[in-house]
Structure 1
Amino acid sequence: MSDAGYDHARVERRWQEAWNDAEVYRTDDDVEDPTYVLGMYPYPSGKLHMGHVRNYTITDAYARYRRMRGDDVLHPMGWDAFGLPAENAAKDRDTNPRDWTIDCIETMREQMHAMGFGYDWDREITTCTPEYYQWNQWLFSRFHDEDLVERRDADVNWCPECETVLADEQVEGEAELCWRCDTPVEQRELEQWFLKITEYADELLDAIDDLEGWPNSVRQMQRNWIGRQEGTELEFSVDGHGTVEAFTTRVDTIHGATFFALAPDHPISEELAEEDDVVRKFIDHEADPDGDEPNGVETGLSAANPVTGDEIPIYVADFVLSDVGTGALMAVPGHDERDHAFATKMGEEIVPVIAPEPDDWDGETVPGVPDVSEEAFTDDGVLVNSGEYTGLDSEAARARLTEDVESAAWATQYQLRDWGISRQRYWGTPIPVVRCHDGCGSVIVPDEELPVELPEFINTTGNPLDAAEEWKETTCPECGGDATRETDTMDTFVDSSWYFLRYVSPDLEDAPFDVGRANDWMPVDQYVGGIEHAVMHLLYSRFFTKVLADHEGLEHREPFTNLLAQGMVQLEGEKMSKSKGNVVSPQRIVEEYGADTARLFMMQAAQPERDFDWSEEGVRSTNAFLGRLHELVETLFEADLEETDDAIARYVESEIDATIAIAGEEYDELRFNRALRETQDLVRTLRQYADYAEPNAETFERGLSAVVRLLAPVAPHLAEELYDELGDDGFVVDATWPTADVDREFVDKRRTLVENTREDVRQIVDVAGIDDPQAIDVVVAPDWKYDALGIAIASEADNLIGELMQESHIREQGDVAASYGQELQAEREALSMTLGPDEEFAALESAAWLVEREFGAPVTVVSADEVDESVLKNAEPGRPAIEIED
């Protein structure tokens, strides 16, 4: 401890070196009580931003807390090191992605050390190293062995700026922009490699209900993305084109189908476009699936309704998508808003066939036909205008029609599509496939030839691997003939779909992970990262985990038990970004105020999942608090304290116990801001105690020791310094978490009582204009009022006063009891039980010193039997009467 005060730079440097020398964060492979805490690993962009700092402070604080609770904690860090930004940066700087990435990693690692994050750096992984990405290739081969890999022609999302394919999840918004560069995405047909995630669609969807530790919003986003729909497939006959299969979830509306619609890329649409210039023009130039209104073109064809036999016109329409359902649909404008808008535009008939079910419907009477001329009726109801099915409810009609129609069958459709992992870029995992020139086709590279390493980077347009001629030309593993390597690399989300498993055995040379250790450590107990990864990363990680459970011996089918999606750090209500010029540098904050200040400010500003505004004033205030805590510990050693036993010490002891218990509960639930508020309130109480009286040595030291340990997860450097000053052995990171057994409800009632009483005194002094109070009496209510309150809370009687008067000791109070009963009657819905009279007396007596300190007047807590009735009538449970002598 410096005589000049809290020197954050010296303190932080000292303890970071000490932790490193002692290897305090190293985790053994074999442990008794494993707890896995993980933050989503970062892309190495060169510098930490405040979002990183917040994310990793959350996981670091929780890991430290669980360690102090006695758990064996795995808390690793690594780098999501492949990706297009590094490739673009290398091109711009005329360097190569590898050097650029490694330089960025070294910078960010130093910044993480400066923040005091307690990682087991022996487990560090970097996904752009052959030691890591060879296992991407090995997993690709295993997926291929299990028929979960396919190469096929497909319409893909192509970003012309990035010159690469994007997964559906990487196309953002109604404008369909690239998630990396905001360029409008085009559609191209390319031969691509796919992982068959749709094989696991049902399990991925059904298992969401079991992810109880995940935010509801994230779970719903995954449900929506998988998009399972139960419905009916049935065939419509089209002259000259055979039958066309359509999928509908509302076959009960089939009698109202007045036209049929095909996707622009449906095979029939493409056939028509070869002969019909109007259809070709629409498909090539006018179709806009993201337009404000549905658009289409007549084909001159008609489709036969399989139920009614009616011929209905066929359109090519841009609101029909080939990858949703079958790319063909029956349109029922009376009961679908989009179909209604299109029918109105094209002048097609709108026929109502479903009526709202009346509230008193008897199951037989057919309701009146609704008017759907202006607006579609889209709910289930009762069939009308539907021939023999009229009078059935929608659910029964769907079952009957699916049974009765020869071509109809129950079917399930998904929005989820197989995961296209091919990327036409250099900086990624090479796909381990060669194409044989002598007829073997596409051949998987054998395990013994892995990794297929990236060649030297060539700064060129398009895919640099296409320009690496020497690397491309190889031999076929099956026949030994000439072959060409696959020049596509894997989507970087492959890297992050299993990286959490590599941490358990990062140096393993003969497998991607040690299955036994993974089964001990997995699933991750607490995972933290941004909401922007709710679909892509989390869905892919769940998919990989399920495949590995089915085929590689992993015992767990979900990767993450609990998930926290942390909020953003904002400046004046806007997300920090370089383009807006509103970025706050973590390095500047650390240099000026210290890492502990930055960590503590972020964690106390809001609950982790909430956005919050960065505030320089808040940072300064946090820094001042740490300085005051430092001074408070020095007070303990500068004063010659003795062992005493008085009411003030007992009050402080009770607050120490309450803070320990409540802060622990809040840390358990990751409500760090509440835990820190409790701890800071205890620091305030200890300062007030030291200012008001000579503290009891044992109480004061116990309080400071509790504060230091409660702050240690969030402000670890100063906590280590103060822990050392208090004479404790070892590191605070290894210290035992303080414990106390208290009744949370009792504590809340006691604190409410004390604070309400202090506030009442303030109001009386203010309203009465008392500048210098001479004495303050606090009068506790009589016992019968507590009994009356208890009866009022428990009673369901309409006449509360009558019920109260059945109790003789209450009835004896006469008009006073009747008046109090009227008050209880009026506030009945808001009543809550307080402490009992004896508990209330003891609580007020132990806290009287706080009022004395604030107002400079002696305070006396008075029981009900010591005052006359005129004073007593104002005293109520939880709200004592107050008499102030001026």
Structure 2
Amino acid sequence: MSDAGYDHATVERRWQEAWDEADVFRTPDNVEDPTYVLGMYPYPSGKLHMGHVRNYTITDAYARYRRMRGDDVLHPMGWDAFGLPAENAAKERDTNPRDWTLDCIDTMRDQMTAMGFGYDWDREITTCTPEYYQWNQWLFSRFHEEGLVERRDAEVNWCPHCETVLADEQVEGEAELCWRCDTPVEQRELEQWFLQITEYADELLEAIDDLEGWPNSVRQMQRNWIGRQYGTELEFHVEDHGPVEAFTTRVDTIHGATFFALAPDHPISEALAEEDDEIRRFIDHEADPDGDEPNGVETGLTATNPATGEEIPVYVADFVLSDVGTGALMAVPAHDERDHAFAEKMGIDVRPVIAPEPDGDEDPTAPDVSEAAYTEDGVLIDAGEYSGLDSETARERLTEDIDSAEEATQYQLRDWGISRQRYWGTPIPVVHCDDCGPVMVPDEELPVELPEFINTTGNPLDAAEEWQRTTCPECGADATRETDTMDTFVDSSWYFLRYVSPALEDAPYDRERANDWMPVDQYVGGIEHAVMHLLYSRFFTKVLADNEGLEHREPFTNLLAQGMVQLEGEKMSKSKGNVVSPQRIVEEYGADTARLFMMQAAQPERDFDWSEEGVQSTYAFLERLKGMVESYVDEQPDGDADAVASYVDAEIEATIAIASEEYEALTFNKALRETQDLVRTLRQYADYTEPHAETYERGLSAVVRLLSPVAPHIAEELYDELGSDGFVAEAAWPTAEVDRDYVDKRRRLVENTREDIRDIVDVAGIEDPTGIDVVVAPEWKYDALEIAIESDAENLIGELMQESHIRERGDAAADYGQDLQAEREALSMSLESDDEYAALESAAWLIEREFDAPVRVVRAAEADEDVLANAEPGRPAIEIDD
């Protein structure tokens, strides 16, 4: 594209080198409270994709904007460098994950530089280096000291292809597939290391309400994932097996319990399966918790309802989960949809015991539950002494009256299993001694570094026999190193703290600096991390606040979850063959074009479609802007400071004020639309007349600075061509104060007037108008409009006629009053009459330029009565001569 337009490659390379030489984006350590802007660091796959480009353009634009507003800005970058993909890639290529990862990092760093991202590269972190992961190990030891680490047998999600454990959050969809390779996930029993995030469940949940700068959708996802429920735990006596604890949130429905259900892996279910082939077959081959309908098998046992003494049948059912509640539940088909579906399938009684609240003194009527359960609260019926109680009261009474019942709180959240059976991760700093058991590696022996990579199936650390051999730190006997490595979400749960002091050698972060600089002011990343990275980061921050001197209990003040970049409505992916290469776009059109197109296409939170035509249009816009600046510099216009210049001045002021508001709100697309509209106005101004130099240069300078956060290279080039000193990246942000409501009304007035003229010219077939009069409404109509907006009188015309200066207008006032009455709900205030006249007078040149005819803006006192009758506030009358 450089042959047809400006040489973007040369321009971009020149300014990238200049920024680097001048350390423009370096954040010194001695600032007290920088504005901390951060994008979620990437996994180094070796190539940036369009999602990366969008994410990091958002943070870069905001960081540049805040820097121009005078803030000290911390805007770092690093690499989420551990993980199974690198290990798999190394195995396939017969290399090692370290070399593969560092090569990918070098490539992606170069690509980020080519995009013009203004990072403080002095603060770069790479999580696969011992200098970083020793602090994962150190933090693991601190968590262990605080009783937040546990090792226990657990049924885990196992990916047979990746040969490693997956967290619940890494198992995707109803088919339960591995998030990395789409292989169906299996269940295995393994000894695992857990971080006890459940100890912080209540605080993690309750503090969500204070995250006012986070999207509501993310906050709700975290609430749902934590899944706190208040209810009742109580015991049902199962025949031959004694009391079995169940949890319910609806103990008020207990009189309607018609069966008792156990999870397939409940101890009683497993015991029964040892002796019953049908139960074994169901557990091993038929149970499907994610199936379309619930399924189960009858055990032949009964359970005793503790409220009624009734014996009800016991089933093993696949909709009961061992890690939700207690793995056993009382089933009330009349008042639970899942229980209802199971009962219908198995031919179990459906007995309603809750009825809707009746009207007045009527008796409650049992709901029809033949087709669906009644799940709302109501009034108890057929519940013995509890009949007539409302649901809430009944829950309290039954919990008090049933001997085994007590109030309980349950959570969906489970402790975080961090054990991974793979090489490329942080070694867990534990040795296993036959006498002492698992023993923590002392701090002075950290880091426990990874050995050389062995290309083998399964976990390469299991094959590193020499590395495994060690001695027990407690007794000195022979011991074996732990071969599990940490989940990579441990790396990302605190990395934002390492940026404040990346070279610190005796602690993971400088406490004083972290307390000055944290929390992150603006964090940007994908919503797919809502219940993994974001929740774990909040957990780590709270633990560090309790134990390691951190003064802030939340890591991120504001969160923006950016939307996807799509092609023809589908997410870009290699498998679909619809990936657009950022490198190709940069080579053909330049980084500024890619950045500007992405940021103007949609609000950051929204998905948007990639468009080659849109890219080309964006490039043409930048080319035109460059031409405008060069023409101004070459020609040095010397026009008058007339009414036209006054209009342009007003538009410059309005654009600066509105674009600044939109940048502050991160609605970059609106800020850019304002800026591009100003470019259009400046171009029209130069086409219409010789511009006033001061006005025109001020407009160009404002455009360059307003564009610079998003299109920084060409902004630097044009800033330099305009004769400005220093870098636009370090220039002061333009400022202006305007009444936005006034601006919106003025712009709407001008555009509506132009549109009305177009309609008249089109309908009347006027090819060459010789004159256009724009007639402002009389003062009394503005008064009538104000009265209509403020009045709540049913008879609006009567109220208007109480004003003598309106009443004396006779039929004209009555006709206008009828119009106002008809449109009453849609009425809004316009400008005052003098302001309307001034706005139209200053914008008359736009109409003259469009229609090539002289324009006269006429006050009501100077207009003909027949024309004036059509003039209304905000909608002047139009008269066109042909």
TM (norm. structure 1) is 0.99
The aligned residue for residue 380 of structure 2 is 383
1:606 aligns with 2:607: no
Cα 1:298/1:822, change in 2 over 3 Å: same
Select which of 501, 506, 512 maps to 1:510.
506
The aligned residue for residue 638 of structure 2 is 642
Distance in 1 (CA, whole Å) between partners of 2:470 and 2:565 is 50
Cα-to-partner distance string for 1:681-711 (whole Å, 9 max, x where unaligned)? 0000001111111111110011111001000
Distance in 1 (CA, whole Å) between partners of 2:36 and 2:831 is 42
Distance in 1 (CA, whole Å) between partners of 2:338 and 2:707 is 57
The aligned residue for residue 316 of structure 2 is 316
The aligned residue for residue 446 of structure 2 is 450
Cα-to-partner distance string for 1:233-286 (whole Å, 9 max, x where unaligned)? 001112321210000000000000111111111111111112222222211122
Q: CA deviation at 1:371?
A: 2.6
The aligned residue for residue 422 of structure 1 is 419
Distance in 2 (CA, whole Å) between partners of 1:3 and 1:184 is 52
The aligned residue for residue 497 of structure 1 is 493
Aligned residue runs from structure 1 range 568-579, under 5 A: 568-579=564-575
Runs (4+) of structure 1 exceeding 6 A deviation are none
Distance in 2 (CA, whole Å) between partners of 1:601 and 1:787 is 46
The aligned residue for residue 673 of structure 1 is 669
The aligned residue for residue 819 of structure 1 is 815
The aligned residue for residue 160 of structure 2 is 160
Which 5+ residue runs of structure 2 have no aligned equivalent?
A: none
Select which of 708, 714, 727 maps to 2:710.
714
* Matched residue SS, 2:508: coil
Distance in 2 (CA, whole Å) between partners of 1:47 and 1:283 is 45
Distance in 2 (CA, whole Å) between partners of 1:681 and 1:369 is 65
The aligned residue for residue 95 of structure 1 is 95
Cα-to-partner distance string for 1:206-257 (whole Å, 9 max, x where unaligned)? 1111111111111111111111110000011123212100000000000001
* Matched residue SS, 2:333: coil
The aligned residue for residue 390 of structure 2 is 393
Cα-to-partner distance string for 1:795-824 (whole Å, 9 max, x where unaligned)? 000000000001111011100010000000
Amino acid at match of 1:352: P
Distance in 1 (CA, whole Å) between partners of 2:328 and 2:828 is 62
* Matched residue SS, 2:213: coil
Distance in 1 (CA, whole Å) between partners of 2:661 and 2:478 is 66
1:834 aligns with 2:819: no
Amino acid at match of 1:395: E
Amino acid at match of 2:814: A
1:226 aligns with 2:226: yes
Amino acid at match of 1:314: V
Distance in 2 (CA, whole Å) between partners of 1:746 and 1:618 is 32
Question: Is 1:70–1:736's contact at 8 Å kept on the other side of the alignment?
Answer: yes
Q: CA deviation at 1:369?
A: 2.0
1:807 aligns with 2:803: yes
Distance in 1 (CA, whole Å) between partners of 2:164 and 2:610 is 37
The aligned residue for residue 284 of structure 2 is 284
The aligned residue for residue 264 of structure 1 is 264
Distance in 2 (CA, whole Å) between partners of 1:793 and 1:298 is 70
Q: CA deviation at 1:637?
A: 1.6
Distance in 2 (CA, whole Å) between partners of 1:671 and 1:864 is 41
Distance in 2 (CA, whole Å) between partners of 1:400 and 1:667 is 56
Aligned residue runs from structure 1 range 49-198, under 5 A: 49-198=49-198
Distance in 1 (CA, whole Å) between partners of 2:567 and 2:238 is 60
The aligned residue for residue 885 of structure 1 is 881
Amino acid at match of 1:392: L
Q: CA deviation at 1:375?
A: 1.8
Q: CA deviation at 1:640?
A: 3.5
Cα 1:795/1:348, change in 2 over 3 Å: same
Select which of 518, 534, 546 maps to 1:550.
546
The aligned residue for residue 404 of structure 2 is 407
Cα-to-partner distance string for 1:568-616 (whole Å, 9 max, x where unaligned)? 1011111111111111111111111111000000000000010001001
Amino acid at match of 2:273: A
Question: Is 2:633–2:721's contact at 8 Å kept on the other side of the alignment?
Answer: no
Q: CA deviation at 1:351?
A: 0.8
Distance in 2 (CA, whole Å) between partners of 1:14 and 1:630 is 16
Distance in 2 (CA, whole Å) between partners of 1:308 and 1:371 is 23
The aligned residue for residue 8 of structure 2 is 8
Cα 1:390/1:366, change in 2 over 3 Å: farther
Question: Is 2:33–2:517's contact at 8 Å kept on the other side of the alignment?
Answer: no
Select which of 573, 590, 593 maps to 2:586.
590
The aligned residue for residue 343 of structure 1 is 343
Q: CA deviation at 1:340?
A: 1.2
* Matched residue SS, 2:335: coil
* Higher alpha-carbon deviation: 769-778 or 343-352: 343-352
* Matched residue SS, 1:334: helix
Distance in 1 (CA, whole Å) between partners of 2:483 and 2:33 is 45
Distance in 1 (CA, whole Å) between partners of 2:357 and 2:447 is 65
1:769 aligns with 2:765: yes
* Higher alpha-carbon deviation: 283-292 or 72-81: 283-292
Aligned residue runs from structure 1 range 736-815, under 5 A: 736-815=732-811
Aligned residue runs from structure 1 range 15-54, under 5 A: 15-54=15-54
The aligned residue for residue 700 of structure 1 is 696
Amino acid at match of 2:394: A
Distance in 1 (CA, whole Å) between partners of 2:640 and 2:344 is 88
Distance in 2 (CA, whole Å) between partners of 1:522 and 1:72 is 13
Q: CA deviation at 1:191?
A: 0.3
Distance in 2 (CA, whole Å) between partners of 1:158 and 1:244 is 30
1:851 aligns with 2:843: no
* Higher alpha-carbon deviation: 393-402 or 26-35: 26-35
The aligned residue for residue 433 of structure 2 is 436
* Matched residue SS, 1:392: coil
Question: Is 1:723–1:732's contact at 8 Å kept on the other side of the alignment?
Answer: yes
Identity rate of aligned residues, in percent? 84
Distance in 1 (CA, whole Å) between partners of 2:747 and 2:639 is 26
* Matched residue SS, 1:683: helix
Question: Is 2:32–2:516's contact at 8 Å kept on the other side of the alignment?
Answer: no
Select which of 555, 558, 565 maps to 1:559.
555
Q: CA deviation at 1:289?
A: 1.0
Distance in 2 (CA, whole Å) between partners of 1:276 and 1:834 is 82
Distance in 1 (CA, whole Å) between partners of 2:3 and 2:310 is 95
Amino acid at match of 2:342: F
Q: CA deviation at 1:642?
A: 2.6
Question: Is 2:32–2:517's contact at 8 Å kept on the other side of the alignment?
Answer: no
Question: Is 1:643–1:698's contact at 8 Å kept on the other side of the alignment?
Answer: no
Q: CA deviation at 1:3?
A: 12
Q: CA deviation at 1:29?
A: 1.3
* Matched residue SS, 2:326: coil
Distance in 2 (CA, whole Å) between partners of 1:283 and 1:227 is 27
Q: CA deviation at 1:343?
A: 1.3
Cα-to-partner distance string for 1:615-642 (whole Å, 9 max, x where unaligned)? 0110010000001110111121222423
Aligned residue runs from structure 1 range 283-302, under 5 A: 283-302=283-302
The aligned residue for residue 466 of structure 1 is 462
Number of matched residues? 881
Amino acid at match of 2:879: E
Question: Is 1:597–1:715's contact at 8 Å kept on the other side of the alignment?
Answer: yes
Q: CA deviation at 1:342?
A: 1.3
Amino acid at match of 1:779: V
* Higher alpha-carbon deviation: 721-730 or 272-281: 272-281
Distance in 2 (CA, whole Å) between partners of 1:287 and 1:336 is 20
Distance in 1 (CA, whole Å) between partners of 2:478 and 2:544 is 34
Distance in 2 (CA, whole Å) between partners of 1:664 and 1:374 is 57
